[in-house]
Amino acid sequence: MLRISTRIGVPKEVKILEHRVGILPAGVRELTNDGHAVYVESNAGVGVGVSDDDYRTAGALVLGTAKEVFETAQLIVKIKEPQQQEYEMLRSDHVLFTYLHLAADPELAQALVQIGITAIAYETVTADDGSLPLLVPMSEVAGRLSVQAGANALLKVNGGRGVLLGGVPGVPPAKVLVVGGGVAGSHAIEMAVGLGADVTVVDRSVPQLKRIDALYGGRVRTVFSTKHAIDSLITEADLVIGAVLVAGAATPKLITEDHVKRMQHGAVVVDISIDQGGCFETSRPTTHSEPTYVVDGVVHYCVTNMPGAVPRTSTFALTNVTLPFVKQLANLGWREALGRDPHLAQGLNVHDGCINHKAIACELGCQYRAAADVVALPSVPVARQAYSV
């Protein structure tokens, strides 16, 4: 019989209309096979079509409340950042693995620092090629959703200009401006082109622009991003999608209040970057229950958990890439896992009252301690199962 080495907790998400879940039954089975205990809050997976019995069959122990899960667990695996009602359930001996986006949330950062928790953020874990592998699947989903959300907001009944994204014969299609040609922007472009829109992308990476131009054979206009370029393009756009990212740091405000004032009445902006503060000066976080608001006649869609609108797709896409890291943390203990994997170590945002990601510390003006220094600290050896591939 395998001995339990790590107690893993999966609470039900409590952010407004957030139905994703941190671990699926397939992940439970892998973790329990490695000798760990997985505690899942009752109904945590109902929003993605997974029942408590599905979890029990996979080997999880289903608990009635979030408090029981937090009290029992050592490693907590979530989707969204802890909400205020969860702060009091967090302890200094917890390891938290989830999305955090601390640069845009100083209140949460301060709370985690005061608790003294060890918090590892999905969005700052890196890969050999410099990409952010735990952010990529949700950027893909958000990029595709941004066009759907924008097309819906353009409907007259929703406050938009009353423009059909693809137009019809004899009537030109909507003009879509995508700010940022990375993962989210590329998927937004793909969707917008597929729906027949007139698409322009601005980016500061010439290689990215060349890649997009080659992929679409000139069907997408590619423009090097400058203030002058945005000034000239913004007034013509029916839909502007903000897809800018600076890893760990707050997003630069590339679209100003003046830009928004000069946009067409009933135009729409969708800010995919809102989790990191947003790239429009007029952006403020919204929820799926009240996704839009209007500034100077322009409809703003700034939902902070866009992929939560399609929780089943999003959960399967995300857990495919998070599970190997969860296994490392459980099998090795967080300190050794980070010591062995420098890319996972980049995910360490908070430990023992300090911020451990330089960009976040600079943004918030907090005390900074390098993750490498934390991992180098001596620790008591822990018994663990061998890693199972």
Residue from 199, 170, 197 nearest 185 by CA = 199
Residue 307 main-chain phi, psi, to 5 deg: -60, -15
Residue from 149, 146, 87 nearest 112 by CA = 87
CA dist., res. 286 & res. 263, Å (int): 21
CA dist., res. 143 & res. 184, Å (int): 4
Residue 353 main-chain phi, psi, to 5 deg: 85, 10
CA dist., res. 127 & res. 146, Å (int): 26
Task: Report the chain's terminal Cα–Cα distance, integer Å.
Answer: 19
Q: What is the DSSP secondary structure assignment for residue 264, as one 8-state letter?
A: P
* Cβ neighbours of 192 (radius 10 Å): 31
User: What are the distances in angstroms from CA 169 to CA 29, 196, 198?
Assistant: 53, 11, 14
CA dist., res. 179 & res. 137, Å (int): 19
Report the DSSP pairing between strands 7-10 and 37-41: parallel
CA dist., res. 91 & res. 38, Å (int): 18
- Give Cβ neighbours of residue 206 (< 8 Å, ≥ 6 apart): 224
Catalogue the active-site residues. 101, 275
DSSP string, 101-131: -GGG-HHHHHHHHHHT-EEEEGGG---TTS-
